[in-house]
Amino acid sequence: MYIKSFDELTFQDNFIFQKVMLKKPICKAVLERLLDISIQDIVYIHEEKILDVSLETKSVRLDVYVNDDKGTVFNIEMQTSKDMEELVKRTRFYQSILDMYHLQKGQKYMTLNDSYIIFICTFPVFTGNRHKYTFKNVCIEDQGIALNDGATKLFLSTKGTQNDVSKPLQAFLDYIDGQEATDELLKDIEEAVYEAKHCEVWKEEYKMLSMDHYTYWKEGVAEGKAEVVIQMLQEKLSLEMIARLTKLTVEQVQEIGQDNALL
């Protein structure tokens, strides 16, 4: 698993992206550009950044999570993983967590906030042609009927090929894709990226996060190997053969087998 060093990070990387979005004028301007709307003000929801709905459900961390002056909720993330199936399912999960969280605070259904879950992707998405894919619930039989439940999911791609977005949005996506800053907002972002890259506190934070990610990755690899060993033991392969195929020691294979009552 390759983990970028702090010096290698750019605006494409979610760590730097979320730090830049902590600058309120930039975050507000980015939302306005992405959605082609006017926002009077935004409020960061820091204390609600990790949403725990109950002990039984998975928590979700929202890196850039803000309300506007009308109560609309926005969650924005930079995505470099190309697993579209996982990303699509994640939007569904995020939406359910947001709704359940607000209802747990004693609100009624009619008071649920309008919400936007926005993924900015550095790779082609869906057909690969568009820069922007907006999803709302509509009737399959009569697509002129919208459900109007207030939930919007937006996927943006820096790799689109169609002329399907405004020039300011195209410039923003091109900037993420590595081109020069061509307007005031992009130059502000560029300056904010420079500041973020020279913040020692954030450098240390990234170092700690990188160590955690590496640990989780190692644990995942170990867990995956254990599952393979279990399957091989069930197929009655010898300990020596399993060790050779998985690059584990015979003792490690034996321990996995004993832990799972297979030896």
Confidence of residue 220 (pLDDT cuts 50, 70, 90): low
Average pLDDT rounded to a whole number, residues 83-109:
82
By C-alpha distance, which of 131, 125, 175 is closest to 12? 175
Q: In what order do the strands lie in the sheet with 64-68?
A: 42-44, 64-68, 73-79, 115-121, 151-157, 132-135
Q: Which pLDDT does position 48 carry in this prediction?
A: 45
Q: 144, 150, 33: which is closest to 98 by C-alpha?
A: 150
The total of other beta-carbon atoms located within 10 Å of residue 58's CB is 9
Q: How many whole angstroms separate alpha carbon 214 and alpha carbon 94? A: 25
Give 109's DSSP letter. G
Q: Is the pLDDT of residue 235 over 90?
A: no
43-77, pLDDT tens digit by residue?
A: 887 644 455 544 444 555 566 778 888 889 899 99
Nearest to 20 by CA among 185, 192, 182: 192
Checking if the pLDDT of 6 tops 60, the result is yes
Q: Which residue has the higher pLDDT, 257 or 176?
A: 176
Nearest to 48 by CA among 90, 102, 117, 95: 102
| Predicted pLDDT of residue 81 | 81
- Residue 47: predicted pLDDT: 46
Tokens read off for 159: 């790799």
Average predicted confidence (pLDDT) for the chain: 85
> What's the pTM value of the predicted model, to 2 decimals?
0.75
